[in-house]
Amino acid sequence: MPKLHSVAELQEFRAEILASRDLAKPCIAVCAGAACDGMDSAAVAAAFLAEMDKQKLGGKLEVRTTGCHGYCEKGPNVVVTPGEICYFEVQPTDVAEVVAATLKGEVVDRLVYKDPNTGAQAVHMSEVPFYKHQMRLLMGDNPKIDPMRIDDYLAVGGYAALVKALTEMTPVQVLDEVKKANLRGRGGGGFPAGSKWETTRNAPEKTKYVIVNGHEGESAAFMDRAMLTGNPHKILEGLIIGAYAIGAQKGFMYTRHDMPLLEKHVRNALVQAKEYGLLGENILGSGFDFECELHFDVGIFVSGESSALMRSIEGNPPEPRPKYIRTSVSGIWDKPSNLNNVETWANVPQIISKGADWFTSIGSEKSKGTKLISLSGNVVNSGIVEVPMGTPLRTLAFDIGGGVRDGKTLKAIHFGGAMGGSIPADLIDAPLDFDGMSKLGAPIGAGGLLLMDEDTDMIEVARYLLDFLVNESCGKCAPCREGMPQMLHILTNMTQGKGKAGDLERLEDLAEVTGLGSLCALGKTSADPLKSMLRYFKPEYEARIVNIAGGSGT
């Protein structure tokens, strides 16, 4: 493929790709997301290809390996277009039947969704309850794209937003659009991305950096991985647009070292984008230069914290540093560095293409757009879900998630992983909203949602989460390094029936001081789950204090 030197060449090339594709030709999309891959979807894809070869179906059928479709519970997932016919739990032995039915325009009934209660079938994606209640603006393209092929991304309109930004908008106009869209950071803080961009843009230094934080260490969160593995160009496009708005010459994608598929796709995406002239000097003849480099973590949780991440890119140990001077002013090598999460960057292209007014029409009053949620725990349908902000948790848990497993009752909902919080089941009608959820004590965080059933021991939950964080603290500051093991010790005793008088008071003090005194967000929020438990489930904790000398125990 020759390099695209101008916008006209890109448009022409896109037209060529589209002209070469027959939309009526059936396409079988096999999900190769992390969960399906784990259930050996590769064998399913291989079986499809072998069947095609055997029957010499190259002209009649297409097979595509794609990123995550979302419905992890029922993997390996297969979607047949046209019609978006969803097949679940597909095995290599089902392949011949699916191919035969597809060629005849029929459906394999035994592989489509059946309602567990009524037995009613749902054939098309728009009818499957798991998908029906979603708004898949970011994830929706995944089944249409082979993440290894940039042409697939171009075919669904990829890089059109970049073209628009480079040709029709000044950097300030791009910035203003993102500010107007009130795009809030999806990594956990919910800080307005536009303001952050503006700070970096206005910082006096000329050398500026933009960063994709794809570390995603939050336990029970797996949507960034799905986005970055399934559609890496979308994030890259967002990053290039951001760099243009901010005036950055260089970008970094920072992600985990332990996800080979993700690494392969992102590496490949960067190479392809460079080949096509979407990265490098004079992008599409616009005069804008931008390079992007891929970086990996060193296997510790805290390297996802923005200042630690930047230390890591510099080649230093990933220890957080205090952010009294913001990283958007002084970040990597003390240069202004704008960091956003994968999902935040993924939102940028559509804001530029469709405008801020469109974006703000979706969502709640103060939280706009959609949010990716990783749904897991004691839920019937685990997977990756995308809903408009403001959607009631009930919709997430019951309409999409299918409720609690094994007919049990919902006890609590946990948001935000090890640094999030748990709320009781009676708050299930709360809307998904950055500020609302924070007030309740279960901040959305990056978006890991866990359902917990009636058998859940809330002391064990807090203990489990702290046990994870204790090993992930860097150990630099005292409240985090010392406070967490002390809390863990007390909680461990309580789960073993050895809780003693004064324990709750000790826990409350430790939680408060760790929250106020720690250096970085890891320490500051490490006690948040415990705080939420003491707020909503205190009687359960009190009951674990051994009654000493007839006293009340606390």
Partner 1 sequence: MSEIILTIDDKEVKATAGMTVLQAAQQAGIVIPTLCHHEKLEAFGGCRLCIVEVEVRGWTNYVVSCLYPVAKDIVVRTRSEKVDKIRKVIVEELMAHAPDAPELVKLAEVYGANRDRFERQQSFCIVCGLCVRYCNEVKQKNAVGFIDNGAEREISFIPEIAKNECWECQECFALCPTSYAQAAYLLTEALAFPGERKATDHVSRAPEPTRRVIPLIPVAAAT
Asked if 513 is part of the footprint of partner 1 (rule: CB under 8 A), the reply reads yes
Residues in 310-369 that interact with partner 1 by CB under 8 A: 321-322, 324-325
Q: By C-beta, is 49 or 478 nearer to partner 1?
A: 478
Q: By C-beta, is 143 or 479 nearer to partner 1?
A: 479
Asked if 509 is part of the footprint of partner 1 (rule: CB under 8 A), the reply reads yes
Asked if 510 is part of the footprint of partner 1 (rule: CB under 8 A), the reply reads yes
Site stretch for partner 1 (CB under 8 A), options 136-144, 198-206, 354-362, 482-490: 482-490
Site stretch for partner 1 (CB under 8 A), options 14-22, 198-206, 372-380, 504-512: 504-512
Residues 6+ apart with CB under 8 A from 350: 137, 138, 161, 359
Site string for partner 1, 458-477 (x = CB under 8 A): ------------xxxxxxxx
Q: By C-beta, is 295 or 489 nearer to partner 1?
A: 489
Q: By C-beta, is 212 or 510 nearer to partner 1?
A: 510
Q: Rounded CA gap, 70 and 374, in Å?
A: 9
| Cα 329 to Cα 49, 247, 352, distances in angstroms | 51, 13, 25
Q: By C-beta, is 30 or 504 nearer to partner 1?
A: 504
Cβ 488 vs Cβ 482: under 8 Å: no
| Cα 453 to Cα 397, 410, 425, 497, 538, distances in angstroms | 12, 5, 9, 22, 18
Q: Which of 160, 484, 533, 545 binds partner 1 (CB under 8 A)?
A: 484
Site string for partner 1, 412-451 (x = CB under 8 A): ----------------------------------------
Rounded to 5°, angle at Cα 82 from 79 and 85: 35
> How many other CB atoms sit within 10 Å of the CB of residue 322?
9
- C-alpha atoms less than 13 angstroms from C-alpha of 536 in its C-beta half-sphere: 21
Q: Rounded CA gap, 364 and 87, in Å?
A: 33
Q: Rounded CA gap, 45 and 34, in Å?
A: 14
Element (H, E) at 535: helix 528-536
Q: Name the amino acid, one letter, at 231.
A: N
Residues in 249-308 that interact with partner 1 by CB under 8 A: 300
Q: By C-beta, is 321 or 535 nearer to partner 1?
A: 321
| Cα 146 to Cα 21, 156, 260, distances in angstroms | 14, 11, 16
Tokens of 10: 């890109």
| Closest distance to partner 1 from the beta carbon of 253 (Å) | 25
Q: Which of 479, 499, 529, 553 binds partner 1 (CB under 8 A)?
A: 479
> How many other CB atoms sit within 10 Å of the CB of residue 315?
7
DSSP string, 214-256: E---STT--HHHHHHHH-HHHHHHHHHHHHHHHT-SEEEEEE-
Q: Rounded CA gap, 279 and 286, in Å?
A: 12
| Closest distance to partner 1 from the beta carbon of 526 (Å) | 11
Residue (of 372, 370, 373) closest to 351 by Cα position = 370
Q: Rounded CA gap, 462 and 534, in Å?
A: 10
| Closest distance to partner 1 from the beta carbon of 333 (Å) | 17
| Closest distance to partner 1 from the beta carbon of 477 (Å) | 5
Q: Which of 1, 103, 516, 543 binds partner 1 (CB under 8 A)?
A: 516
Q: By C-beta, is 512 or 542 nearer to partner 1?
A: 512
Q: By C-beta, is 365 or 505 nearer to partner 1?
A: 505
Q: Which of 478, 495, 535, 540 binds partner 1 (CB under 8 A)?
A: 478
Q: By C-beta, is 81 or 514 nearer to partner 1?
A: 514
| Closest distance to partner 1 from the beta carbon of 205 (Å) | 17
Q: By C-beta, is 157 or 517 nearer to partner 1?
A: 517
Q: Which of 127, 275, 512, 542 binds partner 1 (CB under 8 A)?
A: 512
| Closest distance to partner 1 from the beta carbon of 351 (Å) | 30
The residues of the shown chain that bind partner 1, judged by CB under 8 A, are 300, 321-322, 324-325, 470-479, 481-486, 489, 506, 509-510, 512-513, 516-519
